[in-house]
Amino acid sequence: MKKLIFLLAVFLSCGKNKNTPYLAQSSGNINHVLVVMKKKDWDSSLGEGTKQIIGDIYQGLPVDEPNFKFFQVSPKQFTGFTRHSRNVIYFQRDTLNKFSVYENLYSKPQLFFLIQGEDENVLVNYIQENKKLIINSIKNGERKEKIRRIKKSPSKSTTLSDRLGINLIYPSIYKNVKDTTNFVWLEKQIIKGTLNIISYRLPGNALSNPPKLKEVIRIRDSIGEIYVPGRLRGTYMITEKDYKPYFYKLKVEEKVIFETKGIWEVKNDFMGGPFVNRIFKDKKKNEWIVLEGFTFAPSISKREYMFELNSILSTMSINN
């Protein structure tokens, strides 16, 4: 009887996967990209152009850092475990000139960009023409992967929901620092500093519609003075005056979001770092919801920290 059950299980398993080949889980650190290209091409103008595109600067940091960290292997080395890389850009000399994008080709999740061309000029043109597609696709895929990892151990706190009527997916390692009727501050301790998330609501008439950058700066500076003190008496967080922030209007899942990326500093003290501020309208209550992430991590790279905060902020939703 046990033998019959075993054979039946094998049969059902084979039948279920008959048309669905097994794909291994993709591997690699967040924001890593594998470039498959011959070494001689990597050292030529093709390689230099590829490095410039993949190494495009992450916006809003005090010191320039690239969006991604990249690694190069030759086509012969692209075997076995290497094929499980989550982001792959593969260059191939071919009489067929073509740019193709494949999902989950050797593993999942995986983005595989195949660039085929008869000579170096064709290959260079293809990667330049498709720069935005490549960069945005990888960014979105890495954001989803980051959120997937966060969901393995998410916070179960209901503070944001109870106080501000919003939901946010963030790791359980973030703890409440300040919790008032209309202001919540979450903090994660890191080796040389902290990652921070603050959120609050504003009356509908507190900002223009759409908001202006100078209004965003005025509001966040006043909030900093009230709620985000520095380490010295009489100091508090403000927006860095000598660094003009990036200001965008985004549309995410039917929500219009106004995003600001810039540098914060502590008034009358030597502290600072990058921040990302998101504002959108709760139309039912005629109020603005503000979510902000900022990093304090002196003397070390901040790209991955800000990527984490950006990914967390992207999960925000309003109750009901």
Structural domain ending residue among the three candidates 149, 175, 210: 149
Q: What is the pLDDT of residue 173?
A: 97
Q: What is the pLDDT of residue 320?
A: 66
The verdict on 119 and 169 lying in the same domain is: no
| pLDDT for res 8 | 36
Q: Is 3 inside a domain boundary?
A: no
Is there a domain that residue 6 lies in? no
Residues 270, 170 share a domain: yes
User: Are 278 and 183 within one domain?
Assistant: yes
CA distance 173 to 78: 37
Residue 73 backbone phi and psi in degrees, to 5: -135, 155
User: Which pLDDT value is given to residue 17?
Assistant: 52
214 shares a domain with 67: no
pLDDT at 16: 46
pLDDT at 37: 96
Q: Which residues of 126-135 are buried (b: 16+ CB within 10 A; e: fewer)?
A: bbeebeeebb
Q: Please indicate, yes or no, if residue 5 is contained in any of the structural domains.
A: no
Measure the CA–CA gap between 300 and 104, rounded to whole angstroms: 34
Q: Please tell me whether residues 302 and 191 are part of one structural domain.
A: yes
Distance of alpha carbon 80 from alpha carbon 116, whole angstroms: 22
Is 274 part of a structural domain of the chain?
yes
Q: Give me the pLDDT at residue 18, please.
A: 53
What CATH number has the domain bearing residue 288?
3.40.1000.10
The answer on 140 and 255 residing in a single domain is no
Q: Kindly state the tokens that stand for 165.
A: 């009527």
How many Cβ atoms are within 10 Å of 256's Cβ, its own excluded? 13
| 95: CATH | 3.30.379
**pLDDT value, residue 54:** 87
Helix (H) / strand (E) containing 200: strand 193-203
Please, what is the end-to-end C-alpha distance for the chain in angstroms? 52
CA neighbor of 59 nearest in space, from 262, 308, 282: 262
Domain that holds residue 239: 153-318
Tell me which DSSP letter residue 26 carries.
P
End position of a domain, from candidates 106, 132, 149 = 149
On whether both 309 and 232 belong to a single domain, the answer is yes
Distance, in Å, from the CA atom of 238 to the CA atom of 242, rounded to the nearest integer, reads 12
Q: How do the pLDDT tens digits run along the chain, 320 residues long?
A: 444 343 334 334 444 455 667 889 999 899 999 999 999 999 999 999 999 888 889 999 999 999 999 999 999 999 999 999 999 999 999 999 999 999 999 999 999 999 999 999 999 999 999 999 999 999 999 999 999 999 999 999 999 999 999 999 999 999 999 999 899 999 999 998 999 999 999 999 999 999 999 999 999 999 999 999 998 889 999 999 888 999 999 987 778 999 999 999 999 888 999 999 999 999 999 999 999 999 999 989 999 999 999 999 999 999 86
Indicate whether 186 and 305 sit together in one domain: yes
C-alpha dist (Å) from residue 34 to 45, 106, 168, 317: 18, 13, 32, 34
- Six-digit token pair at 9? 């299980």
How far is residue 312's CA from residue 19's CA, in Å, rounded to a whole number?
36
Domain final residue pick, 149, 167, 184 = 149
Position 7 scores a pLDDT of 37
Q: What's residue 254's pLDDT?
A: 78
Number of domains in the chain: 2
